[in-house]
Chain A
């Protein structure tokens, strides 16, 4: 199955210095305080997971593997969450299971703070979702346009 190329990018300027931000990204207790319970270790090849309350179709677990570690500069891990149907043997090829990658980049700014950038990429949205989010749907008629405007 092709890996998706949809991505989410977030940039944040933080007043804390890079060393502090690095700790908040790589120490389990600190990371848990703002993201989710986890057993992260910033070692390439290390597998870990995030655990949250199950919600809807999601079993609350995100499985990860550390891909790249440059202390106080870059951290990359896979982010594989998905439907709980995966566990009941109903998994199929329709791509509702997420296999994505999270990349954190940390850089000092001019004021002793940190520029933090997150890129969450590889979203595998199927044809349907692509069309829904793209222009394709806008031209499909007022029914869909209205529905999307109402629920978006």
Chain B
């Protein structure tokens, strides 16, 4: 008689990668709903396309890499990559943008580096960076919140490529508030003037986007409460971004936007709670996470204010992904009983 004799412990709390990823998806739902409410169904169509592409690419890559497909296809990580990318691109971008970006993220950024757990860079952000650099026009045509795009219009914008679709895209889109602000500052106008005379700005951030951001903030706080993510990265990122923004805002509020504007514009809150917190590519020690988050906050401000791109979350995250192993190395916590 030989009994089943595994190594201890014999208990497990039944947590799983799938559960974690599902919770992250749940936390995104309020933001997505508000996004749809304010900007039409484009984002929903993009999310759907992203999920289908992500799962397809994941399955193909797993098969090619001779890995078991079932446990990995159901882990939810590919779905999250797709959804985050869909939330990062303009919701009226043509269909092939999200398909190309998601495929690039899953195949190149994830599986060529070894798949789940082994990718040094956040796959969604790699996909985003590739798209932004390769297709700047499609990637900067954002819908306006007051455009009230219907479902059929969304379909037309995304799937057809004729002249009427082009005209429609021009009619409903514009620059993002961050982009607009940057351009106008370049024309030597000052911020109060720019904000007062444009529809792009809302109460404390970009018009419409600010409400989506607040929903992401709520989802993120729920994730912290559920212990799916740690507070360190979002807190450090938001604090650092606010601090540096406050310094320059205090120096010259005509040239530099307020911390509140920075927090509620662009992808700041989506990035802080959902992108920078991707555990695989982030720092893992407590101190390391604070440094990592703070540096993302600072880099975001620097690139937004003085760099060539209006938003900067993707680049800030990718730059810090590179630094994560080094940060971890120098922030090893003190072990019990050591001095």
Do the two shown chains form a genuine complex with each other?
A: no
Using CB atoms and an 8 Å cutoff, list the residues of chain B in contact with chain A: none
Using CB atoms and an 8 Å cutoff, list the residues of chain A in contact with chain B: none
